[in-house]
Structure 1
């Protein structure tokens, strides 16, 4: 089999396009692939220079075995999206080493298109879309360069041609985006094995939230219908922890609930425990755009009411979704900020659950709680005494000391320095030790309002933990011991409660008006992208088509596609024709051509490539001048005028040239 001599420009374009397509996958691929990528690039260049030969068949087998074994050891199997992406990248690299015939080159180019598409498996932001468009441009330019081996003489000609081709495709792409059925994203497949689970986890131990507060990533964005509530009321409920083993808080086992279905889904029959919720006042409606968390729980203000399918209210009064949140989603919620939960006396099985404490842990906290409760005389007075204790003696910090086996004792009567999970955990312990049902609630608190688009940004550093206490006649009440220690954290946010240097995010630049404005502008732009493009679901598509067509019928839809699509194709055809239309010639050349045409009709045509002066010299030697001598003088005058206009740019003589050509009659 003869080798395909890969042109230099084609090789450079191919390597550049493939590198650009693979670059965004760096955080999601094993490290050995990047070492292999560098080795393959070097080998391919050396083959092109004639220094090395193509790998032999035995070496190919070794490379395939090595890549397969390395991927299996890294992932454990080949199921899931990440192993498949790594396998595709490996195949592209290995195929690059055996480009021997023309079809091998085309195959690598076509595989590069798939590499570009895999970028959107991990991110669908506007920046990713722009970068993906750039990669698409490069790969398509490579495909054109492959068919133009002499393109090294004009290396950017293919780039310009590719740009025009892609511009021609944009109107049709927009039309397809508007009318094509919304079938869900290909990248919504929930099987990313090594996907980082960001945000609140399904357990809480000292130090967990301190790590989250160092992340400036966005957790979700909220758009309110009307004025948003004040920051101190923005408690975004996520999870409820009732089980404590001495170190960690966890959710209660769903099997522990005996009073109906654990989740009340929007489109299903409501269980009896829904009657334990007493909402009053006016509902607060809002829309949430949540970033992927790879967890099933959602975030909402209390008391939340699900208004969409696949979203339900759990028995502990939090929102959940059917399946994990593996891609950015948007959901509508209604909340009643004036509410009561479970005012009726708790049954014995609930009391056991919400009073549970492990044996053998924190004896000092137990004894102190029982003593203070006896001295207080009532649950309300005891609760206020504990909050007063926090207010007088504790410090709010992201860098608390480590705690030992009796973590609550060491925190309450030793370090007295901590973060929200220290305060909520120890507070709930003190409540339970005194015989008051209590539990920990985690989620987010507050948020940053972006006035440019009128929405709230909730970051990961807004993660928060607080307590819920059950009091007779009042039900579950939210109590936030953090507010007793650092009220500015609840009123204004984390960045006012701590030194700015401790918040490792762009928020530390918010004191600079220009940088803060730029940050909010970029986030608002990304927010519009999420709502308009990524949030263009079936409901928005139906609304858009109704606005365009009125009543959406198959006949109107076909007519719309035919008219708009036909108009787009017509405009593209006209643009292509306009680019290739005959260019108008110089008026002087047209006048001179009429002069030579007159002589041609007298059997004296101008020869191909003959200069005007040579043409006149030959005319002077012809029989035509011998019959009519005055023609030579007229022809010489016309030729002299043409040379002055065309070669000396004396355009003022153009009128005289046209006049003499009109009067010339051989």
Structure 2
């Protein structure tokens, strides 16, 4: 006998209470599993220990712990939650506590009432998963959890006998399918007035992505993250994007340098303003596009250089521009955000003549990078470079990068105190932030204002839905230098070291593990690429049509239905009308079914359903006499009245044609008055 067959046999031989308890514990574990990455480590260990303990008690048929033990565990759970979060209110503390309460409640499963509490706690915990992620995999996992909880709930309402879980699952699936149209109608028409999955007062948790600072070596870590940062759809008649080498999505601009770390200027951060800075001038036709930005817990809005007008954000959000052309929202991006923007590839920004404000962009920490300072002095002393001005100095530095044996790598090693010196003279290798930082230090040492811009560069087009996907691995750092009569000009020194990084979308990839290498021998790269494109297109569709189904899109739907000036009141009226129409149709269907079906057959079916709830499922082909025999065999003399009633029902079926018409009504009243084996009267037929 195989191990799988032996396991099925063992499970089939378990008492019903043990089977049902183990099934419910499995559903609870499935609900809690996606939360593990968001819970404190001790919470996961504590909840797992409680579930395993409860499973062992059920398997061994041991008694449940006393109330004193449960009370002590409850006090411990609350105390540990307070010690970790300093509160029991808010998203993180609340989810921690609800998981612990759910696990503790499984140790108190004495009866159906306790089971109902576990079910409702399970539904609430299931919803709490969406506080942290609204992704398609999370939704699919919670759909499975919903079916599991509904199955356990249906099973709990069949207290007698041993109904198979498959039967309860079929009933739960039918309930879910019948409720799906109602859920869809509520989703489409219920007014949206605020983000659903948000809890005020919680501090946003960290997420992989750009930071408001750049420590030399930090962006190389992002290159190992292949998750999606944003998706872009170019608008217009042809939807044609600019060349891939021009896809620079602007993020935080960093101008203060302490030797190892670049920080944003405090003055720049303090001057967020809605009007466009006067030092920006644009030319040509703007490029229109739509961005679907993944949550990064910060207010930055990624746009192509340079956006003159603010991005079009959902209602309740506003966009502001800083003096260095960085756009940000009035609150952190904590959920998938979709916005439209216009950018001008041809632009000029910054003062055309040197001003005192530019002095901060040439500042360098004292006593660091002496060899880079010496190199800068040597280059400035060169008569040919001095004659060519700032552009000649830039070209000379780029030429040094192209011809000096410099390499572009993810693993340049740990840089020391003199980061620019190590890059220019010792290691001669680095990732984009090493190259950009060393280049900016050299420019500043030559008295050329320079700063670092972080963001994303490039992207790849999904062949399934046509969206451009920008990943965390596309995170990039480049420099901007100030040139007289031109203002701030983008210079990407990484392109001089590795032209393919910018022009041909050649990214460095992290070494693959054994599993990835093994899969590469089974699935061809082309097939893997296509499967990935399909999956990401599905995720993008989920983001566009579910997570970004805003009130604006609801009102657009009403306009398409003929409403001239739709409002949320119109949504409510339409929803109420649809619910009323559905209820009326359901009532009409019920009345039609009652008149269409033989009243005697309907009463027999109700008796069969009541026996099934009592723990005696019977096939639909059995006549009343055979049903009476089964009832007598199952329940003995306790069900004598039920058996007699079934015999009278059969007698009425074969009575002479002149039998009184009210006889069926008498049997129906007797049916309501019968004392069924579980001791509860049935619902009125």
- Listed as ranges, the gaps of 5+ residues in structure 2 are 1-14, 601-622, 627-685
1:80 paired residue among 79, 90, 111: 90
1:451 paired residue among 456, 463, 466: 463
1:318 paired residue among 322, 326, 337: 326
Question: 1:206 offset after TM fit, Å?
Answer: 1.9
Aligned match of 1:298 = 301
2:291 corresponds to 1:288: yes
2:393 corresponds to 1:382: yes
Question: 1:296 offset after TM fit, Å?
Answer: 1.4
Structure 2: how far apart are the matches of 1:121 and 1:355? 45
Aligned match of 2:504 = 492
Structure 2: how far apart are the matches of 1:319 and 1:505? 38
Question: 1:465 offset after TM fit, Å?
Answer: 0.3
2:137 corresponds to 1:127: yes
Structure-2-length-normalised TM-score: 0.78
Question: 1:29 offset after TM fit, Å?
Answer: 1.6
Question: 1:73 offset after TM fit, Å?
Answer: 3.7
Residues 94/396 of structure 1: CA separation in 2 closer, same or farther (3 Å cut): same
Aligned match of 1:564 = 578
Residues 84/557 of structure 1: CA separation in 2 closer, same or farther (3 Å cut): closer
Structure 2: how far apart are the matches of 1:550 and 1:608? 58
SS at match of 2:225: coil
Aligned match of 2:279 = 276
Structure 2: how far apart are the matches of 1:82 and 1:501? 34
Aligned length: 573
SS at match of 1:264: coil
Is the 1:285–1:332 Cα contact (8 Å) retained in structure 2? yes
Moved more, 308-317 or 242-251: 308-317
Aligned match of 2:272 = 263
Structure 2: how far apart are the matches of 1:575 and 1:185? 38
Structure 2: how far apart are the matches of 1:459 and 1:608? 68
Aligned match of 1:215 = 225
2:520 corresponds to 1:474: no
Aligned match of 1:337 = 345
Aligned CA-pair RMSD: 3.0
Residues 505/189 of structure 1: CA separation in 2 closer, same or farther (3 Å cut): farther
Question: 1:502 offset after TM fit, Å?
Answer: 10
Aligned match of 2:173 = 163
Structure 1: how far apart are the matches of 2:394 and 2:283? 26
Is the 2:18–2:59 Cα contact (8 Å) retained in structure 1? no
Is the 2:189–2:572 Cα contact (8 Å) retained in structure 1? no
Structure 1: how far apart are the matches of 2:624 and 2:495? 95
Is the 2:409–2:429 Cα contact (8 Å) retained in structure 1? yes
Is the 2:223–2:509 Cα contact (8 Å) retained in structure 1? no
Rg comparison, structure with higher value: 1
Is the 1:372–1:382 Cα contact (8 Å) retained in structure 2? yes
Residues 520/578 of structure 1: CA separation in 2 closer, same or farther (3 Å cut): farther
Question: 1:325 offset after TM fit, Å?
Answer: 1.1
Aligned match of 1:644 = none
Question: 1:452 offset after TM fit, Å?
Answer: 1.8
Residues 101/93 of structure 1: CA separation in 2 closer, same or farther (3 Å cut): same
Is the 2:230–2:294 Cα contact (8 Å) retained in structure 1? yes
Structure 2: how far apart are the matches of 1:532 and 1:80? 29
Question: 1:101 offset after TM fit, Å?
Answer: 4.1
Structure 2: how far apart are the matches of 1:156 and 1:474? 73
Aligned match of 2:241 = 228
Is the 1:141–1:162 Cα contact (8 Å) retained in structure 2? yes
Residues 306/505 of structure 1: CA separation in 2 closer, same or farther (3 Å cut): farther
Aligned match of 2:435 = 423
Structure 1: how far apart are the matches of 2:624 and 2:300? 82
- Listed as ranges, the gaps of 5+ residues in structure 1 are 586-606, 611-666
Residues 171/367 of structure 1: CA separation in 2 closer, same or farther (3 Å cut): same
Is the 1:214–1:504 Cα contact (8 Å) retained in structure 2? no
Is the 1:9–1:152 Cα contact (8 Å) retained in structure 2? no
Instruction: Map Cα deviations across residues 26-52 of structure 1 (whole Å, 9 max, x no partner).
Output: 111223333333432343244446754
Structure 2: how far apart are the matches of 1:58 and 1:561? 50
Residues 363/418 of structure 1: CA separation in 2 closer, same or farther (3 Å cut): same
Structure 2: how far apart are the matches of 1:61 and 1:180? 42
Residues 535/504 of structure 1: CA separation in 2 closer, same or farther (3 Å cut): farther
Structure 1: how far apart are the matches of 2:353 and 2:230? 36
Structure-1-length-normalised TM-score: 0.80
Residues 494/62 of structure 1: CA separation in 2 closer, same or farther (3 Å cut): farther
SS at match of 2:108: coil
Residues 609/57 of structure 1: CA separation in 2 closer, same or farther (3 Å cut): closer
Aligned match of 1:656 = none
Residues 517/190 of structure 1: CA separation in 2 closer, same or farther (3 Å cut): farther
Aligned match of 2:651 = none
Is the 2:31–2:126 Cα contact (8 Å) retained in structure 1? yes
2:532 corresponds to 1:528: no
2:255 paired residue among 242, 248, 254: 242
Instruction: Map Cα deviations across residues 419-457 of structure 1 (whole Å, 9 max, x no partner).
Output: 100110011111111111110101110011113212110
Is the 2:559–2:566 Cα contact (8 Å) retained in structure 1? no
Residues 296/559 of structure 1: CA separation in 2 closer, same or farther (3 Å cut): closer
Is the 1:168–1:572 Cα contact (8 Å) retained in structure 2? no
Structure 1: how far apart are the matches of 2:161 and 2:561? 45
Question: 1:528 offset after TM fit, Å?
Answer: 1.1
Aligned match of 2:475 = 463
Question: 1:526 offset after TM fit, Å?
Answer: 0.9
Aligned match of 2:80 = 70
Is the 1:21–1:135 Cα contact (8 Å) retained in structure 2? yes
Residues 438/49 of structure 1: CA separation in 2 closer, same or farther (3 Å cut): closer
Is the 2:209–2:472 Cα contact (8 Å) retained in structure 1? yes
SS at match of 2:277: helix
Question: 1:8 offset after TM fit, Å?
Answer: 3.9
